[in-house]
Amino acid sequence: MGWKIFVSFIFILLVSSLLIFYWFIPFKTIEFGVSGGNSNFNLNNKSSNMQFYQNMRYPNSRISYQIYDCPLQKENDMERAFEIISEGSILDFYPVDSDEQISVTCDSKNKMEEGLFIAGEGGPTNITRAGNFNVILHGSILLIRDSKCETPNIAIHELLHTLGFGHSENQNNVMYPITKCGQTIGEDIFQLIDELYSFPSYEDLVFENVSAVMHGRYLNVNMSVRNNGLRSSEKSRIIISADDKFVKEIDLDSLKIGYGRRISLGNVWVSQINVEELEFFIDYNLTELEKKNNKIILKIKNK
């Protein structure tokens, strides 16, 4: 009996550290003219995965950032990149002095890889799996090369990495691994952003792995509840009923995005003799992404 912090904590740590890997996706500089044509991320209407993982997004469509000690041109490029993405999508970026979601730093030292200069690096650095979403809690951008283009393509490219986008095979697209001034963002990137952020930033409490056994009039229950939403949940309670009669109520603390809690109950006395159905209900007053998953019904196996 008693509360245990769910294993998800360890899982989140693991995922976070794995994702630091993406920070090291370099972007190389070399300039040529662009030969015109389709500038979408995906070539020939082939819909490949545009993101590192499925459904990557920040918790909210308003995303905070902070730019650390960058020379004026790079700072302007970065701010222009934030503007361009917010003009083309439902996203909105705003500067903060601490706890930013996207950190931007600069480095003036040239870096080379395979004979090409690296223009910048960027990617999500902290991701939490929550239901259908891979929620990005933090991303980082490092700007290395000055942009020589009219549009700040290097800053846009790195910003899109921090939004979860990978590299495109289309050399006209800004996510192509080698930068050219004529590259553009393409409509399909904006479309995917708008689709992902069309889900409001609500919490979503769900049951996972509920099991129950009756020994005579005594009930043993194992269950876990997780927040698969896009915002921390407030306090809630779990109500257990047997054939529509109240059995027990359990208070549940606030759960962060992707966090869960395992609950084990032993020897809960049930007044009825023959119970056929047990209902578990998460009683939560605020709006959720989905309310249907707040209830689970079990047919009891008598022992």
Q: Which residues bind Zn ion (CB under 5 A)?
A: 25, 27
CB nearer Zn ion, residue 156 or residue 230: 156
Q: Whole-angstrom Cα distance, residue 260 to residue 195? A: 27
What is the smallest separation between the CB atom of 54 and Zn ion, expressed in angstroms? Answer: 19
CB of 6 or CB of 27, closer to Zn ion: 27
Quote the least distance from Cβ 133 to Zn ion, whole Å. Answer: 23
Which amino acid does the sequence have at 65? Y
Phi, psi of 10 (to 5 degrees): -65, -40
Q: Using the minimum distance from each CB to Zn ion, give the nearer residue, 27 or 197.
A: 27
CB 140 → Zn ion: shortest distance, Å? 13
Angstrom distance (rounded) from CA 274 to CA 18:
50
Chain position carrying tokens 């960058």: 70
Burial 42-75 (b: 16+ CB within 10 A, else e): beeeeeeebbbbebbbbbebebbbebeebeeebb
**Which residue lies nearer to Zn ion by CB, 103 or 220?**
103
Looking at the Cβ atoms of 27 and 93, the one nearer to Zn ion is: 27
Contact 79, 147 (CB under 8 A): no
In the bound state, the residue with its beta carbon closest to Zn ion is: 27
Give the nearest distance from C-beta 161 to Zn ion in angstroms.
6
Of residues 125 and 236, the one with the C-beta less far from Zn ion:
125
Helix (H, G, I), strand (E, B) or coil at 267: strand
Question: CB of residue 45 vs Zn ion: minimum separation in angstroms?
Answer: 23
Question: Could you tell me the smallest distance in angstroms from the CB atom of residue 129 to Zn ion?
Answer: 23
Q: CA 253 to CA 277: how far, in whole Å?
A: 27
- The pairing of beta strand 218-227 with beta strand 260-269: antiparallel
